[in-house]
Amino acid sequence: MSSQPNSLADRDLRSVFHGQTHLSQLNEFGPMIMDHAEGIYIYDGAGKQYIEGVAGLWCTALGYGNEELAQVAYDQMKKLSYAHTFTGKGHEPSILLAEKLKEMLPIKNAKVFFGNSGSDANDTQIKLAWYYNNVTERPEKKKIISRVKGYHGITLAAGSLTGTPQSHVGFDLPLAGGRFLHTELPHFWRYGKQGESETEFATRMAESLESLIQREGADTIAAFIAEPIQGAGGVILPPKTYFEKVQRILKKHDILFIDDEVICAFGRTGNPFGADTYNLSPDSISLAKALTSAYQPLSAVVVKDEMYDAFLDASPEMGVFGHGYTYSGHPVACAVGLKTLEIYERDKLFEKAAGLAPQFQERLGRLADHPLVGESRGTGLIGAVELVSDKGSKAGFPVPGQMGAKIAKLSQEHGLIVRAIGDALAFCPPLIITSDQINEMFDKFEMAMAEGLEWASSEGMLNN
């Protein structure tokens, strides 16, 4: 689409530097300018309505236009618009939110460190792991293991943890020095061997992780970080028994387990946390996104008291704990976060979302029969379909990502926003979605898929 002179789209092109965007394509077709939103729907500048099928960026769990969150932000801005948490200062919103998180999370004896985003939460995790091993006199334990296609943020350190090539190319990432390692992607449908069961595949993936640990030396490994479900990597679910086996290996080799719940937390997987869904016992947890339903930037790192106590014991020698952000524990963000958690609990939103999950997964599962779909996968209210040119061989397309982008564009034309991750299409709607809206969402997607199939056939892109 062309941008009219001096329109918002034209002014955007002249002034705004977009992240996670193909810049030459943006310059050719122009930006999509969003105007307002309500509930699960968002509207562009022309008034066209779209179902926000990915909750923004996996984050707007309560949808849009929530009056309670707007009001609590306004009230907190009037009362205490800003206060920092440096030099021992505190305020009620951060205290109450930390207490509430401790009550909810699988780590009971813990401390909560606040930041602004999932990226800075995982940067904090890296620094805490390094600091912890320094003060416990194990300075050689510094390497962090993540997974291929894991997504843990986009800053220099968190981006080094992230296992997607697009996050590295041109940025000189991962950072040099050998502190960031990546183990195999545990995607059974894609990488399981012929005749191999899912549990056998999980064993092979766990053994591959242990082999990496042994090659590098367990005494050099500080931590392993994983999302319960690899969200931005394509909604990759862990194979059965995977985390059970991985956690056993981590404990055996005295390696910290960091649970990145930035996408999975707060009801997304059918339970309050991904850790509940997959029986995880982490040493620390990263939170963001749905912590405030994206109404304010806020993240949290939750660490076991064992780690905090080590920091405390070392403080006479180390002096000031020299980490923190200007907006750590921002009172407005914390007030909004506290109200968000109150709404989740009061309205039994996690339970309601879990009750809708069978319908969501049934509609998602139906897509497995489509000629373009190699795999449909998901749990709770998150899922994806993987597109292929040949179901039998699981072959992709001549230009990787082209088919995914085409289906995302066709979906948008039908009034649905989905996330194209290469040739996987991801769904992660607001938790407030209704049964009728789930059907509306998948009906729109099925129309886009029918048109996409016709286009792929006309272009000679299919082998099946």
Q: 128 CB contacts (<8 Å, ≥6 apart)?
A: 113, 284, 301, 303, 307, 323
Angle at CA 171, nearest 5°, toward 170 and 177?
125
pLDDT in tens, 271-304: 999 999 999 999 999 999 999 999 999 999 999 9
Instruction: Find how far residue 372's CA is from the centre of its chain.
Output: 26
- Answer whether residue 1 shows pLDDT above 50: no
pLDDT over 70 for what percent of the chain? 99
Max CA separation in the chain (angstroms) = 72
Helix axes 92-104, 331-346, angle to 10 degrees: 40
Tokens standing for residue 285: 């947890």
pLDDT of residue 464: 62
Determine the average pLDDT of the residues in 430-443.
98
Phi–psi pair at 273, nearest 5 degrees: -135, 155
pLDDT in tens, 301-314: 999 999 999 999 99
- Answer whether residue 154 shows pLDDT above 70: yes
pLDDT of residue 2: 54
Determine the average pLDDT of the residues in 356-361.
98
Distance CA 199, CA 404 (A): 30
Quick check: helix, strand or coil at residue 317?
A: helix
Contact 254, 299 (CB under 8 A): no
Phi–psi pair at 80, nearest 5 degrees: -155, 95
Question: Mean pLDDT for the chain?
Answer: 97
pLDDT in tens, 155-166: 999 999 999 999
pLDDT in tens, 68-106: 999 999 999 999 999 999 999 999 999 999 999 999 999
- Answer whether residue 348 shows pLDDT above 90: yes
Determine the average pLDDT of the residues in 231-240.
97
pLDDT of residue 463: 82
Q: Rg of the Cα trace of the chain?
A: 22
Instruction: Find how far residue 281's CA is from the centre of its chain.
Output: 19
Go through the domains of the chain in sequence order and give each one's CATH number. 32-65+348-458 (3.90.1150.10), 68-346 (3.40.640.10)
Determine the average pLDDT of the residues in 348-371.
97
Q: Which helix (H) or strand (E) element contains residue 181?
A: strand 180-183
